[in-house]
Chains A and B, each alone.
Chain A
Amino acid sequence: MNKTLLIFRHELVHTINRKGFIIMTLIVPALALLAIGVFQLVSTISKPAVIETITIGYVDEAGGFDQHASQGTIELVSFNATEDVTAALTNGEVSEYFVITSDYISTGVIYRYTLEKELETPQPIATAIKNFLTSNLLSGKVHFEMIYRIETPPYLVVTRLTETGEVASDQGGFGNVIIPGIFSLLLAFSLVFSSNYLVQGLGDEKESRLIEVLLSSVSPRQLIIGKVLGLGVAGLVQVAVWLASAPLLLKLASSTFGGFISMIQLPANFLILGIVYFILGYSLFAALSTGTGAISPNAREGQQLAMIYTLLAFVPLWFSSLLFLFPNSPIWVALTIFPITAPVAVMLRLGVSDISAWELVASMAVLVFSIIGVLFLVTRAFRTYILMYGKRPGLREIVRSLRQA
């Protein structure tokens, strides 16, 4: 068998048998399962058996606010004086009260009194008070249907059209963000884990001096390609397990999160771009990790050095909340083109907004050139540094060696 294939097979089998790999592969679906279970448990425990009615007192100094006292689960009870309603509050007859001042029509001010410490008025209570006031103000003047429409906000149904006026296949919305968001997170994790395995593997072989035995049997090129492919396929296996568990998890989650799951849809070109960016991203990180493993005296130092670029892969995820606010910011264009952040940035952006064709072309071109450039430097440095034990060479020394190589 070809020696590259032998190394590939050895690395693949060796990696997927590692305890760390098995744990990481299973922990993602296990955590998702746990989250669904915890959510179901909490919602079952916290679900009230009987819908509780809240009683709120009020003092009508303006006059005319005496109808529509029942607002869903909130009952409004009128009091003549603030002393009476304050006594009712302290006795527990009402949970809170509010005062409609005589100048309410001109000022719009309502004074609310409560025993609770809160950041702002809870939404159900604010809505109940607003609807009570509106209903009383409009009662007898307009039709009840009109009153209901005024109190209930419009429900916007948005349809995205293509430039030719047809309904677009990719309708956008939050449902569109879910899969790319999860995939970008998994992609970032997969890139980091694969890089770590590569750096650790090379570091261990260097530390145990096994690398000398291997290089006495195979060329550095065969060793690098075999390792990179073996770990790449192991990474794919890991992502495949995560993705394969998704339908089951979604099915379980749909009973928990209800209609939200039905909103989920895949953005156009997601699968193709997902595969392309996984391969390009993995290739770049593998090349960087091979170089890191070659120049580091042991696995620990190699992993510390690899943190520099593996952490950068997460940058688009750190700022993902800003993506919803400023989807077309030049910063996102920069993150899409910068090779280390490109794979995760593209996956995230796919769900939120359109990425122009030139950005995708530029991003892929920069990634391909970066991979070629890094591989070129790594193969030059590999022979020099892989057998150098002890201290890690400085940047100046590496540059000098690369020039001489």
Chain B
Amino acid sequence: MDLKMDLEERLRAETWGKPSSVNDLPQRVPPDRQTPFPNFASHKNLQKREDQDPSISNYGMRIEPSFSEFNRPSECQPPLPSNPISQDRGVQMNDILQLGKTQEWDPKAMLNNLSFLEQKIHQLQELVHAIVGRRGPVLGRPDELVAQQQQLITADLTSIIIQLISTAGSLLPSVKNSLSSASTPPIRQLGQLGGILNNSGSGIGLDSNLVLPSQGGSKVPDQSNQVDPMDQSAIDNLEDHESKDDEDGDEGENLPPGSFEILQLEKEEILAPHTHFCTICGKGFKRDANLRMHMRGHGDEYKTPAALAKPHKEAGSEMMLIKRYSCPYAGCKRNKDHKKFQPLKTILCVKNHYKRTHCDKSYTCSRCNSKKFSVIADLKTHEKHCGKDKWLCSCGTTFSRKDKLFGHITLFQGHTPAIPFDENKGGLSLQGEHNEDTNKVGNVSFSFGSSTPSSGGVQNIMEDVKGNVDDPSSFFSPLSFEASNFGGFNEFTRSAFDDSEGAFSFLLQASCNYPQKNGGQSSSNNLE
């Protein structure tokens, strides 16, 4: 554990060096946020950007409208206290200040902290009051809500205690190191809670705007099934976290092993052609690297190696939260409300899944003119193999290589090679082999092309027809059709797999790896 703690410290130190970078990973952080304390600076930028392009709302981390959005659902959940946002933000700033200046004790910051704690306790009081006052009405409501409220209170209390400890800790310069390690869990916890907000799927997660606000608090009880009780409590704390999230959101996770944070992008975001936008001119890019290249044109400060470097590279691969994504399409298995919800691993997965499953297939293969795709990469993959995947098994499986087909047939009893469809279609020589039609045509032309009347030929043809009628379907491999369907399915799975190696993979993987470890550790810290 000591080792872990040490590591923790180091990591935290790094994180503090670039607080925002970690948090913004899933949102594909614009370069301007790489400055040591970007939060304040980036506010304006972000807001500006938000104004320019509403579709990139996921960058609007601390934007007023989003708060109101958040507050709306909270109103329909009476137990949730609505706190003055400005206050929260102030606290947040203080928090950051405090974190940033651990080395020298700042009495003002301390004062701020204390007043924050005071407010926090007041809020808690109000909440408990409200609960007591609403006992009656609440009785009619599901028990979950009560439990949830209790959890919220617990979470709030926890955060207050943590805050208290960290504040006290800052008074002791000699125990700075241990302090910082001690203060880590709370911070992470906060961040985690922020992350969980997204998770909860209610309108709360506006920090990243990844969640559909409309889904509201009514959904909360559902989530309680999936989400750790601790996370649920975070709903109460959201005022704090909505802002904190930004930097700490990914830092810590209190989820038991195997659980994860669920993010949900909106349809518009999923379908947006560009995901990286220049903060200066607003131009959109598909890749962050392209944006960075573009940024060079905006001034020398963007030409520094640091600005041009791949962001978050140094963030390390160990300290990230597991993120999983939910499809916004209600009723979809990839939607978090589905009973057998299967999360999507990366944003690219989300995009491809959404396009493949819930969008029109607008790209048609120019070779076969029959296969359609909604993801252009799928089309390209298909076109590479279109017409080449000619090795079919009777079970409908297609193979690009003959030896693979034969290996398959060797392995499975009763499977047999299927005759390629085009052979059935004909194009056969003189005596047309399989295709009855060409065959008969061939015969007819013989018979009538000749100088003598050959009724025998005609008769043959007629009998041919009869013979064929007996067994019309058997000449064609009945499975070749299925096979083509299957091919589609194959392609789907294959592309889904490819996604992990897609253009964004470096970002996404990094973002996945980082929280994973960190989360695990923080949880163990908390347990201790």
A and B bind:
no
Contact surface of B with A, Cβ cutoff 8 Å: none
